[in-house]
């Protein structure tokens, strides 16, 4: 709920967490509207590391050409950080901002960022520091509460669908000497991006033949049985797994190469390598692990136009929300792509939105038609102009 109109003199904006293909569009929207309202805005370089090390840049005077180029730039223009925020750092952030004469902080990020925004807002209040904190959402994982889909998800989903489609065609071409591809996609402990791979299907029984979401316990014996069945039917198998899949005891499938890094969020990786080795060992099939890499989240050439435009508008209305007096909230865009609404940071931060049961069939290891109908408007146009042998036989 809006309080009294915020007194805004100097704004700081920070990008945190993982990158996306459209997070800079949100930044551009924020800067654009600050210019329209003749406000000063500064960027913190590499998250709060930049604030604490006095690495801050003035963004107030970017030209229209620079803003357009910023919208077309993937990853994080200001740089991100995985610095672990201790209680001491949470206390120091409002102090440092006050020293710089900054009274407003915009945090662009996911649910972890929104939790941090909430703690920073509370820290400022405890220290009697005048600081307005507001959140602007982004995450390719699409796991944020309170919004239907988050900026970054549509572009990542589109990239994954295209990559899975093309890699599947590649494997089918090579199936006389390579039979199985296990493709691992991002998404952390939710399966929105893994589910999006279903958009790659060129026919109902086509690849990807099996999709596994972290929302459900992974059973190795069942997996091997399904791979064997599909191979006997099709002569090749494409399986997509979310990076956060786990067994019934909650243990991750695969290894975590970042286990020794102290950070707020757990990093997943290694499921595809483990499962490819398992298939080869148990079934004797040639299996290759395929991690779709960081390109999933930052590949600008395949980003969704719908996603980019929405990301920009969310940034733009974030300033509108500040001007209207909102604070300690995350800003979201209404379905009409014009109006905004806000959600309390306490209702978003640290929470996780799972793929609903109506979007996935755990028996067939496939998504439902309802999910595809929901996804297509988000990814935008997704054409298939390929030719297969089935088309001419």
For residue 254, what pLDDT is reported?
84
Indicate the pLDDT class of residue 220, thresholds 50, 70 and 90: very high
Task: Please give the Cα distance from 242 to 217 (Å, whole number).
Answer: 12
Say what angle helices 153-173 and 369-379 make with each other, to 10 degrees.
Answer: 110
pTM: 0.93
Decide if 159 contacts 322 (C-beta within 8 A).
Answer: no
Task: Name the 3-class secondary structure at 200.
Answer: helix
φ/ψ (deg, to 5) at 16: -135, 165
Q: What is the mean pLDDT of residues 152-177?
A: 95
Beta-bridged to residue 152, according to DSSP, are none
Identify the CATH assignment for 10-151+300-347 out of 1.20.1260.10, 1.20.58.1180, 3.40.50.450, 3.40.50.2300.
3.40.50.450
Task: Please give the Cα distance from 209 to 238 (Å, whole number).
Answer: 6
Answer yes or no: is 202 a known binding residue: no
Answer yes or no: is 186 a known binding residue: yes
* Residues above pLDDT 70, as percent of the chain: 95
Answer yes or no: is 113 a known binding residue: no
Q: Is the pLDDT of residue 266 over 60?
A: no
Q: Is the pLDDT of residue 239 over 60?
A: yes
Task: Please give the Cα distance from 340 to 384 (Å, whole number).
Answer: 35
Catalytic member of 32, 103, 141, 269: 141
* Tens digits of residue pLDDT in 73-85: 999 999 988 888 9
Decide if 234 contacts 390 (C-beta within 8 A).
Answer: no
Annotated active-site residue 217? The verdict is: no
Task: Please give the Cα distance from 290 to 164 (Å, whole number).
Answer: 10
Q: Is the pLDDT of residue 2 over 80?
A: no
Indicate the pLDDT class of residue 256, thresholds 50, 70 and 90: low
For residue 141, what pLDDT is reported?
95
Among 118-132, 249-263, 360-374, which is the least confidently predicted range? Answer: 249-263
* Residues above pLDDT 90, as percent of the chain: 83
For residue 5, what pLDDT is reported?
66
Q: Is the pLDDT of residue 1 over 50?
A: no
Q: Is the pLDDT of residue 104 over 50?
A: yes
Task: Please give the Cα distance from 259 to 239 (Å, whole number).
Answer: 26
* Tens digits of residue pLDDT in 200-217: 999 989 999 999 999 999
Q: Is the pLDDT of residue 389 over 90?
A: no
- Tell me the average pLDDT of the chain: 92
Task: Please give the Cα distance from 350 to 137 (Å, whole number).
Answer: 13
Q: Is the pLDDT of residue 63 over 80?
A: yes
For residue 82, what pLDDT is reported?
80
Indicate the pLDDT class of residue 391, thresholds 50, 70 and 90: confident
Among 18-22, 48-52, 256-260, 267-271, which is the least confidently predicted range? Answer: 256-260
Answer yes or no: is 188 a known binding residue: yes
* Tens digits of residue pLDDT in 308-344: 999 999 999 999 999 999 999 999 998 888 899 999 9
Indicate the pLDDT class of residue 355, thresholds 50, 70 and 90: very high
For residue 3, what pLDDT is reported?
47
The domain locations on the chain are 10-151+300-347, 154-299+354-379
Q: Is the pLDDT of residue 4 over 70?
A: no
Identify the CATH assignment for 154-299+354-379 out of 3.40.50.300, 3.40.50.460, 3.40.50.150, 3.40.920.10.
3.40.50.460
Task: Please give the Cα distance from 329 to 247 (Å, whole number).
Answer: 36
Answer yes or no: is 367 a known binding residue: no
Answer yes or no: is 205 a known binding residue: no
* Tens digits of residue pLDDT in 375-387: 999 998 777 889 9
For residue 70, what pLDDT is reported?
97
* Tens digits of residue pLDDT in 281-296: 999 999 999 999 899 9
Answer yes or no: is 325 a known binding residue: no
């Amino acid at each position: 709920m809006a309080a009294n109109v915020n007194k805004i003199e100097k704004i700081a904006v920070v990008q945190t967490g993982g990158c996306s293909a459209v997070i800079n569009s949100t930044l551009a929207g924020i800067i654009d509207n600050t210019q329209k309202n003749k406000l000063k805005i500064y960027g913190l370089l590499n998250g709060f590391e930049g604030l604490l090390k006095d690495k801050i840049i003035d963004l107030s005077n970017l030209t229209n050409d620079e803003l357009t180029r910023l919208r077309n730039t993937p990853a994080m223009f200001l740089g991100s950080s995985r610095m672990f925020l201790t209680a001491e750092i949470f206390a120091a952030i409002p102090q440092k901002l006050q020293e710089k004469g900054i009274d407003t902080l915009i945090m662009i990020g996911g649910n972890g960022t929104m939790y941090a925004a909430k703690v920073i807002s509370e820290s400022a209040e405890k220290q009697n520091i005048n600081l307005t904190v507001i959140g602007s959402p982004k995450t390719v994982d699409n796991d944020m509460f309170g919004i239907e889909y988050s900026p970054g998800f549509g572009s990542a989903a589109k990239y994954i669908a295209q990559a899975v489609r093309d890699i599947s065609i590649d494997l089918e071409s090579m199936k006389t000497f390579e039979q199985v591809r296990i493709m691992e996609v991002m998404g952390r402990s939710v399966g929105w991006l893994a589910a999006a791979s279903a958009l790659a299907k060129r026919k109902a029984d086509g690849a990807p033949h099996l999709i596994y979401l972290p929302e459900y316990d992974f059973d190795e014996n069942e997996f091997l049985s399904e791979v064997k069945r599909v191979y006997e039917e099709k002569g090749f198998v494409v399986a997509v797994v979310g990076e956060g899949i786990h067994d019934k005891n909650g243990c991750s499938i695969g290894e975590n190469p970042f286990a020794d890094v102290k950070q707020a969020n757990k990093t997943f990786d290694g499921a595809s390598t483990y499962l490819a080795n398992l298939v080869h060992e148990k079934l004797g099939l040639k299996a290759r692990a395929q991690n779709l890499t960081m390109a999933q989240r930052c590949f600008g050439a395949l980003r969704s136009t719908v996603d980019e435009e929405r990301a920009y508008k969310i940034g733009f209305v974030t300033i509108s929300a500040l001007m209207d007096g909102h604070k300690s909230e995350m800003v979201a865009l209404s379905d009409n792509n014009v109006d905004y609404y806000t959600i309390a940071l306490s209702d978003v931060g640290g929470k996780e939105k799972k793929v609903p049961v109506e979007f996935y069939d755990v028996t067939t290891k496939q998504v439902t038609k309802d999910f595809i109908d929901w996804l297509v408007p988000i990814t935008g146009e997704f054409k298939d102009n390929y030719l297969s042998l089935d088309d001419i036989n």
